[in-house]
Amino acid sequence: MEARSLSPRSSSKTTTTTNQKMNFARKEYEFLSEIGLSSRNLGCYVDGTWKANGPVVTSLNPANNQLKLWRVLLKITRKACELAVPAPKRGEIVRQIGDALRTKLQQLGRLVSLEMGKILPEGIGEVQEIIDMCDFCVGLSRQLNGSVIPSERPNHAMLEMWNPLGIVGVITAFNFPCAVLGWNACIALVCGNCVVWKGAPTTPLITIAMTRLVAGVLEKNNLPPAIFTSFCGGADIGQAIAKDTRVSLVSFTGSSKVGLMLQQTVNQRFGKCLLELSGNNAIIIMDDADIQLAVHSVLFAAVGTAGQRCTTCRRLLLHESIYQRVLDKLLDVYKQGGKILIGGSVIESEGNFVQPTIVEISPNADVVKEELFAPVLYVMKFQTLQEAIEINNSVPQGLSSSIFTRKPEIIFKWIGPLGSDCGIVNVNIPTNGAEIGGAFGGEKATGGGREAGSDSWKQYMRRSTCTINYGNELPLAQGINFG
């Protein structure tokens, strides 16, 4: 893999190496060397060795299309290696990864902002999320508990054992190029697995920088480097991971269309999938809601990360009695942020920008049923709570949802069996900005996977039910007597 920083967008691949290195050394890019990046970077880390071969591709800073990176692909080849140490010791390794991230929080956050395009506070927040996951998993490493189950047979004990799967493949998307790795890899490692990571094709520098940090911790502890493998590449590497029978679990973040194809491939070899796919998230504002709180929540949910979170609010359901009042306030907030009210156009600039857009539309329109990965908010009226819930549940996706109300009877219907059908069901907060302590994921076309907190760790291990006869006789279950 070869990484070079070019001057203007019009520069071609024939720009001299000297000029490229001079540009890479510009003051605003000096921090890259602090996280192990230079003007030349190999893009695949396999069994402790950086290597690369294959076609060359280009990565751009989406804000100005200037910083360019060349990357080379490599076919997946690696050896299996489980962490044959106790779980609390594995937790100690993850703790050290978190500490290493803390020392480079600002630099990595700046890199996320530079290469992915999100604002700097969100870039730093993304890296902080991995640190939080590391802290969570240190405690988790002492709580990978199985059940002890009463046996109906005398002198018998029944219990559950949780063991590593072996190898976990992680395929991440551009919008959270390192946080989703943290959700998966931190848990996979404390559960005793190896990790094979394919980062997003458009954010290879982040993949390289994160890999260097993790590899440094493994090397410091004299652990096999094959515990963590990473690739910068495209669909061919993702397909190789999906087809490889050595990869017991494939965690994929991306569109429902691609996720379905990947799931079919993995299912053909009886592998496991953890899918985090499309979201089409709604916020419902009832007539008793705190309007100011709701409006500020909608703003963050609709335009935060330029509308490129899977939990971004894409549908706003307003009770008819407050419809215009909320809409007027929301438009005022858009004005205060310097945003164009109705939008719908590309903003002419060096980078890739569109106008935040609000659209009044029927909930039955075909376009409303699809995930549009942009800051476009569909606004619609409703009359009753039941109608609002039906609209919320009417799309194929089922990731995140939220309602704004002060009435307990509405809250508990919303979170109950006749309420939202999503995996994330909020009250008086936005659809996005989830904490790591809860399980993250959704239903229906969102894929059904769960990452991060709660008992998500169970997906990264295999469960054995163990029955032990410590007596001298052989009583059978269900009272069967074989004589």
* Residues classed as catalytic: 276
The torsion region of residue 382 among left (phi > 0), alpha (psi -120 to 50) and beta comes to: beta
Of 168, 187, 249, 122, the C-alpha closest to 439 is 187
> How far apart are alpha carbons 391 and 364 in whole angstroms?
9
Residue with tokens 């690696």: 78
Q: Which residues pair with 148 in a beta bridge?
A: 159
d(C-alpha 64, C-alpha 93), whole Å = 38
Torsion, Cα 331 332 334 338, to 10 degrees, reads: 140
- Token pair for residue 449? 């996977």
Q: What 3-state DSSP class applies to 58? A: strand
Burial of 16 (0-12, 13-18, 19+ CB in 10 A): exposed
DSSP labels, 244-280: -TT--EEEEES-HHHHHHHHHHHHHTT-EEEEE----
**DSSP category for residue 438:** S
| CA 323 vs CA 274, 369, 379, 382: distances in Å | 39, 22, 9, 9
Asked if 326 contacts 295 with a C-beta cutoff of 8 angstroms, the reply is yes
Tokens representing 272 are: 């496991």
H helical segments located in 85-119: 87-103, 105-116
Comparing CA positions, the residue from 197, 218, 205 lying closest to residue 110 is 205
The dihedral sign for the CA sequence 388, 390, 394, 399: positive
- Grouping H, G, I as helix, E, B as strand and the rest as coil, residue 462 is strand
Using DSSP, how many helices (H) and how many strands (E) does the chain show? 12, 24
- Pairwise CA distance, residues 144 & 166, whole Å: 16
Token reading at 213: 């940090």
User: By three-state DSSP, how is residue 478 classified?
Assistant: helix
Residues 303 and 356: their CA atoms lie apart, in Å, by 7
DSSP letter, residue 338: T
Angle value at C-alpha 180, between 213 and 259, nearest 5 degrees: 130
